Structure formats: C-alpha cells, structure tokens
Structure 1
Amino acid sequence: MSKSLQAIRGMNDILPEQTPLWRYFESTVARLLDNYGYKQIRMPIVEFTELFKRSIGEVTDIVEKEMYTFEDRNGDSLTLRPEGTAACVRAVLEHGLTGAGQPQKLWYIGPMFRHERPQKGRYRQFHQIGLEVFNIDGPDIDAELIVLTWRLWGLLGIRDAVKLELNSLGTSESRGRYKVALVEYLSAHLDKLDEDSQRRLKTNPLRVLDTKNADTQAVLVNAPKMADYLDDESRIHFEGLKARLDAAGIPFVINTKLVRGLDYYSKTVFEWVTDKLGAQGTVCAGGRYDGLVEQMGGKPTTGVGFAMGIERLILLLETLEQVPEEISRQVDVYLCAFGEAAELAALALSEKVRDQLPNLRLQVNAGAGSFKSQFKKADKSGALYALILGDDELAQQVIGFKPLRGQGEQQNIAFDALAAHLATCVVQG
C-alpha cells in the first residue's frame, strides 16, 4: 500500500478553526499600519540565490545551512525567501521607489522558508509581517517602529508579556574595530568556547555574543563591549532613540550581546522578547541597515525595519488567553428552511438582509434536511440565533426567530422588520 500523503515536516496546514484568529491578528496589524502611513508591497516568494548571499552574508547560518535552494529548468539557482528585507530592497531598487531620496514606508506579509529543526514556535515554513523604511536617517523613525509595535501589543492585550531589548552595532568601521578586540579576547579563551562559537570566531565573531552555551556565556562576561567602540554618530543616534522611547513611556533594557543574525545591520538593533513561550522567546525583531541598498547596487540609502513572527504571536495570544471571544464564532445567524417554496423565499430574503446588514454573518442551510438535522447544523455552526422558515411562516410573511446561546422565547418577525431586528440583536449586541 502506498504511503499516505502528508504535509512536509515543519510546514503546517492552518485549519478552518485556526484561521479566524489569524485573520483577526492580520487585520489588526493592517489597520494599525494604515493609520501610521505605511503602504503594502507584495514580493515573490522565490528569488535568485545571489540576492540572499549578497545581502544576508555568505557566512551566516541562514545562507550556510538553512536556505531552500534549487536549480530551475534554465539552470538558475533560486531560493525560497528566508526573510523579507532583501526581497523588499530588491523590489525598491528594481522599480526606482527611492529615487531622488524619496522616503518610502512599506510593509509586507507572507511565508518565509528556513530548513531548521521544527519545534514549538519555530517552523520551516513560517509567516512574517515586515516593515521597511527608506531614506529617513534619524532616530525618530527608529522610535516610530518601536512605538507602533508597543501600540500593537496594547491592542492585542499582550504588553505585560513582552520586553524590549536594544543595542547599537555602530557603523561598519566602528564594528570592525570592535571585531578585532573581540576576536583577540576570545582567542585567548579559545579552549573555553563551545565548538560552534570556535567556528563562528573565524567566520562571524559577533554571532558568538548570541550563544546559548553556558560556558561561552561565562567567558563573555568580561569580553569587550560594543558600546566602548561606538563612533560619535552612532552614539548620538542611539541616545536620540532612547530619549524618544523615554518620552513615549516605553520601557526597555540595553542588551550589549544583541547582534541579530544577519550581516546587514548597523546602528540600532532591537528585539521584543517574551518568557511565556519557552526558549523561542523573540516575537519581533529588526534594526537599521543603512549600507544594504548600496551593497546591493543602489545609491547610498538609509534603511530600517523589522519583522514579527505571526505563528509566535498567535501562540502568545492563545497562551495568554487573549483571543477575543467573538472571533471564534464565524456565524451570527443560521437560517433553516423547510420545503422548496421556503428555500426559494429564504434565498431572496437572506440577500435582502445582507444588503441592509453587510457585516452580518448569515448562513443559509444548504442540502435541505429535516427540522432536527437543520437545527443540529445551526447549533454546530456556533450561531447566536436560528431563523425558521416553513410553509406556515411563508403564508404569514413572517420568520421564526429563536435564540440558541441564551435565554429567550422563539418569536415571529415580519419579513420587512427582520433586518432591523437582527441589527438590534446581533450587529449592535
């Protein structure tokens, strides 16, 4: 017998009972970004592999071990996008969106792909919402990105569960000086470093700061600090960001080991972390990448952005029981019709009601069925009310109205008064 077909490990179906929460989260973010003046951009999920090698860095874990890369029929090396910033920069350059220094505030949503070990909150196909801002170089836009996420956490009811961590990586020049000092220090303690950190010391020494190994973390306690090597420009920028966050009343902590896993960051880096999800605690992260556009062939253009993991934030909402009760109900009213004449009238009546109440979630029974079977489907739908239309009601031009989730007697409502009655009971209630 052939093996049953299944989804690829780490690439999950999002089932109908889960999608209302996803839609709630996505629509909440979209409304917020509209209010802040961000415009949506949509990029392909497949790009030339060279794009990610040039932007992310060839010695990063993503490029070395995690990308889904393949040759197409033309022999071109293509990659499923592992993150969104590089693709967004490519689109901005290709279409001249930042020409003549024009600022752009963009956002995107979609799946990303990395061949990681699947675990709670970490998948091989995962979904992100990302923001990218170009040609605005002051700390005010860095602050805006953080402020709007703080507002989002408030809208979602999760502010008390997340913490903001900040750092500055300085310019490439100051970071280069710091790398020299860090490598010199760590080389003197090489025997105390874990194997992965010893490898990174030769390829990407800043990533050693992000180690989870306890022995290496002990070595790092006395390691040189990035703050001591910052140039004046980066230091002023960072102080300006902190002052704005203080003014907005947003608490934060400085994490001198925060470096992020991508080569293109400079100056500001930040992460929103939580201790409610176990080891996978980062729910939103980003920073400034002022040299990336030029690195990818464009003119010098400042950039800053972040990405938030949808799966982790959905999981956090569920863990904290911050799922609004109303979104789990996908049907407000279920209309049961008995007999062909009633079914025809139900179709016409339901469309008239939808004309008057476009936000009402009204489901009309399909597939006929007995009184008992239709009411069973009405109850299973989660509807608050059932509407009943049979030959007797049709003759009187009324429809039965029966509460399903609370107290109240069944009553008859005239056809022409139905929309107004539903508006009182459902749309406003």
Structure 2
Amino acid sequence: MNMKAPRGTVDLLPENTRKWQYAEKKIKDICDRYNFNEIRTPVFEHTELFQRGVGDSTDIVQKEMYTFKDRGGRSLTLRPEGTASVARAYVENKLFGTPIQPTKLYYFAPMFRYERPQKGRMRQLNQFGVEVLGSADPAVDAEVIDLAMTCYKEVGLTSLKLVINSLGDSESRDNHRRALVEHFSPVKEELCSDCQIRLEQNPLRILDCKKDREHPAMKNAPSILDYLNDESKNYFERVKSYLTMMGIEYEVDKNLVRGLDYYNHTAFEIMSEAEGFGAITTLAGGGRYNGLVEELGGPDTPGIGFGMGFERLLMALEAENKQVAIEEQLDCYVVAMGDQAEKESVKILHELRAVGIQADKDYLGRKMKAQFKSADRFNSSYVLVLGDEELEKQMINVKNLETGDQIEVKLQEVVSYMKETLQGGKGNE
C-alpha cells in the first residue's frame, strides 16, 4: 500500500523545522518586547463560531471549512483562522474582567482550509497571529502593524510593501454598501455566480473577487474612502500619522477589503516584492474588528489583529536568497569501544545532558573510525573517547576536533571539565 500525506499537506523534516524554530524564536522575542502573551486554543471549535464570527457570506465558511459531526451529533469545524477562536476564548474566560487592559495575545497554530493546493497555500497551513482586545485607540492599530513589519524585517526580509485602507464604521459601511448595490445591480448578470450572491449578502466582497477583477465595473466602483464619515476619516488619518512617525512606509489601496466579514476601520496587508516570489504576493493580512466580541456574546469590545502564514514567510526568505542563521553544532560526541566502556558512556551522556551540554553517542555498534565520522557529521566540537583500557584507569580522552588537541581527564571530573571548557573557562590546557 502506497501511503502518502493527504493532498494539501506536507511533512516538515528536521532540515526545515530548524528554520521554523529560528523564525518562531525571533518572533516570540519580538512579542515579549511588545508585551504580548501567548494563547493556545483548540484545533476544532463548534461550527457556529465561524459561521457567526467569520461570516456566512465568506468563501471560508461557504467553501473551505473542514466540518464534521462528532458522535453526539454536534457540528464541529477544524479552525480555518485564529481570530474567532481567540475572541471566543476571551469571552468564555472573561478576560475582559482582568485588571491589565487591553488584552494583547499572540499564537502559533495550524489552520485548515479546503482549497486548491498551490505553492505557499496548503490545506493545512501554519500561522502566527496577534490579537489586541479592549482598545479603540488608533495607536494600537499602528502598533500591531509595526509588530508585523518588525517580525519580517528581523527575520531578514527587505522586499516588503505595506498596503492599508479604511473600511470605516457601521454608518460609513452602510452608505458604501448602498452605493455598491446601486453600482453593480445593472451588471449583476455579468458577474460570477458568487458575486451575484455577494451583491445581496455583502457587496463589499465583490471588490475582492478574483474572477471579476477585470470587469469594467470594477474600475469605477465606489470607493469606501468617499463614504467615510468625519469620525472614520479622523481615525484613519491618525493611524497613518502614527505609521509616518514610526518611519513605516505604506500605500493606501481603496480596494483592499480583506475576505472576512468582521473587519471595520483599519485593514492592511503586507506583501513580498521579491522577484520570483509568485503571483500571490500577500504575506500577512489583518485589521480592526470592533463588534466581533459582542457578536459572540461578550461585552462591546474593540479589537484588532493579523495573521501571517509561516510557509509564505519561508518562501519569501528563499526568494530573497536570505540564509537563515542556524547553528547545527553538537557540543560533544561520546565514542566508546568495548562492552564496559559502552555501558559507562550511557551514564556519561546522561550526566553531560543534565548540566546543559548538547551531547550524543553511537547506537549502531560502529567501529571507532565510523564513530568519529558520525561526530564530524554532527559538527561536534569535542569527542570524548572511552575504551575499556581508559575505564580501568578511570580516565577519558577529550579531543578538540577543531584544533586536534587532546587531553586526558579523570572520568569523575569530565562533566565539570566539559562544562567549564564549553563556557570558555578552562580551554585545552
């Protein structure tokens, strides 16, 4: 039987997971600097959460969710995005009642979407995201965008473009909605079947359609920016002014609407401009979603966040020919020859690891020359050589593989010796 990973999924092998760990560590350090805390939510949720939180009219809910019934007949869905789950956890655990506000959260999580697999877009995708709940200050919008840009820059990307837009408050969106219905209704039959439905349910999403993007009606469609009321205009101007103060360059795209129903006010995307990156250039996207928490049964709570795909981040690094600084080096490798020495090497290895030393040994019964080759493959700094003869003398040979220097050390002192040596205190005297 030829067993393969399901379509739209991939195995992350050690040569790749080290790159992921490098990027994750960088991003976690940045989140600490910005005073964000990690949250972990279930991989599956009640289907209604995404129907209400993401929106019935979205492609995610209508076409892309992995939904199933459990043995109790309850409809459950593998999470397709992170914001709704975080908002649900915020309400359920009454995080709005904690003394430290706003609540600033981040997560690393797999997401699941049933769509046509292509490079950088899989059915199981891995996402980093942040959510800030409890503040309607436009400075928070700027902070969230700043955090996202900082993540990309500190991982090593340089060919980036930030695109922003305002979707306005409910009044502005209602006025814009009416204008869109009036604009697209005369050409309704010329639009794709999805957009014909969107015209009734959520006409704003017509602007995000990939099938109808070249339709003449798209070119002169009413812009949301022309329907912003004074409050929404002022909000957007403040966000832009904060970005300018931070030295963050941006472009305003009046057609940027994002694909989820819960967005309002600020919406943004970060794109790769690296040559050869591919047709889908978006690396991350997000925006403000005031009203989502209330929709899920919580108090009126403003929120903003974003999600960035890890697969696309690594694709962008590859497109820019940026090498991830991964240190693949073992501190020491224990070479043992003889039955008693082999047994003793297990104890030595345990004691080395217990004091924080990265160590390994042979488990295939190979000869000494082959064990030294194994140490070279692991790029080990030192080799500890123990035979039955050394064991009788209660000594062990310590060899520096970089310099070739070798020294005999008392067996009972080798762990403390290696610890001091690797910390730079003793060296090869």
Q: TM-score, normalised by structure 2?
A: 0.90
> In angstroms, what is the RMSD of aligned CA positions?
2.5
In the alignment, what sits opposite 1:42? 40
Instruction: Point out the more displaced range, 161-170 or 206-215.
Output: 206-215
1:148-227 matches, cutoff 5 A = 148-158=147-157, 160-190=158-188, 193-194=191-192, 196-213=194-211, 216=214, 218-227=216-225
Structure 1 position 38, deviation (Å): 1.1
8-17 vs 386-395, greater mean Cα deviation: 386-395
Give the whole-Å Cα distance in 2 for the aligned partners of 1:318 and 1:391. 49
1:69 offset after TM fit, Å? 0.8
Other structure's SS at 2:399 match: strand
Task: Report which stretch shifted further, 213-222 or 329-338.
Answer: 213-222
Is 1:267–1:287's contact at 8 Å kept on the other side of the alignment? yes
Offset of residue 353 of structure 1: 3.8
CA displacement, residues 285-322 of structure 1 (integer Å, 9 cap, x when unaligned): 11100111111222211111111111111222233333
Q: What is aligned with 1:414?
A: 409
Letter in 1 for 2:113: R
Specify the SS of the correspondent of 1:263. Answer: coil
Query: How do 1:299-314 residues align onto structure 2 when only pairs under 5 Å count?
Result: 299-314=299-314
Deviations 1:208-231 (A, max 9, x none): 212334763653222211111012
**Secondary structure of 1:17 counterpart:** helix
Going from structure 1 to structure 2, the CA distance change for 1:45 and 1:15 (only over 3 Å counts) comes to same
Conserved? CA contact 1:21–1:323, under 8 Å:
no
1:386 aligns with 2:386: no
> How many angstroms apart in 2 are the aligned matches of 1:393 and 1:319?
53
Residue in 2 aligned with 1:234?
A: 232
Q: How much does 1:132 deviate?
A: 1.1
Instruction: Report the Cα offset of residue 151 of structure 1.
Output: 1.9
Structure 2 Cα separation of the partners of residues 238 and 330 of structure 1: 49
- Render the CA deviation track for 1:368-423: whole Å, top value 9, x for unaligned: 321133223223334344333324544372424142xx6x3242253543333333
Q: CA–CA distance in 2 between the matches of 1:325 and 1:223?
A: 47
Q: How does 1:1-400 map to 2 (within 5 A)?
A: 3-99=1-97, 102-158=101-157, 160-190=158-188, 193-194=191-192, 196-213=194-211, 216=214, 218-276=216-274, 277-327=277-327, 329=328, 331-356=330-355, 358=356, 360-394=357-391, 395=393, 397-400=395-398
Opposite residue 322 of structure 2, the aligned amino acid is Q
- 5+ long unaligned stretches in structure 2: none
Please tell me whether the aligned partners of residues 66 and 114 of structure 2 are also in contact (alpha carbons under 8 angstroms): yes
The aligned residue for residue 423 of structure 1 is 423
Report the more deviating stretch, 312-321 or 53-62: 312-321
Cα distance per residue 1:1-47 (max 9 Å; x no partner): xx322221112222222211111111221121122111111111111
> For residues 32 and 41 of structure 1, what CA distance do their matches in structure 2 show?
16
Contact 1:192 1:219 in 2 (8 A): no
State the Cα distance separating 1:352 from its structure 2 match. Answer: 4.3
Measured after TM superposition, the shift of residue 341 of structure 1 is: 3.1
State the distance in 2 between where 1:16 and 1:215 align: 41
CA contact (8 A) 2:192 2:212 kept: no
Q: Which runs of 5+ in 1 are unaligned?
A: none
Q: Deviations over 1:139-184 (max 9, x none)?
A: 11111111122222222111x2221110010012211110111222
Displacement of 1:87 after TM fit? 1.0
Deviation per residue, 1:324-366 (Å, 9 max, x gap): 3434x1634322111233334434444444455x2x4221222
**Is 412-421 or 305-314 further displaced after alignment?**
412-421
- Relative to structure 1, the CA distance from residue 191 to residue 94 in structure 2 (aligned partners, 3 Å threshold; closer, same or farther) is closer
> Aligned pairs, how many?
418
Q: Quickly say closer, same or farther: Cα 1:418–1:95, change in 2 above 3 A.
A: closer
Structure 1 pair 252/338, CA: closer, same or farther in 2 (3 Å)?
same
- CA distance in 1: counterparts of 2:341 and 2:322, whole angstroms: 41
Q: Secondary structure at the match of 1:30?
A: helix
Q: Distance in 1 between matches of 2:21 and 2:50?
A: 30
Could you report, residue by residue, the CA deviation over 1:82-137 in whole angstroms, capped at 9, with x for unpaired residues? 11111111111111111389421111221111100001000111111121111111
Q: Is the 8 A contact 2:22 2:326 kept in 1?
A: no
Contact 2:330–2:380, Cα closer than 8 Å, also in 1: yes
- Hey, what's the Cα distance between the residues in 2 that align with 1:297 and 1:125? 29
Contact 2:385 2:396 in 1 (8 A): no
| Alpha carbons 1:66, 1:114 under 8 Å: kept | yes
CA distance in 1, matches of 2:408, 2:348: 12
Q: 1:336 to 1:325 in 2, by over 3 A?
A: farther
AA paired with 1:324?
V
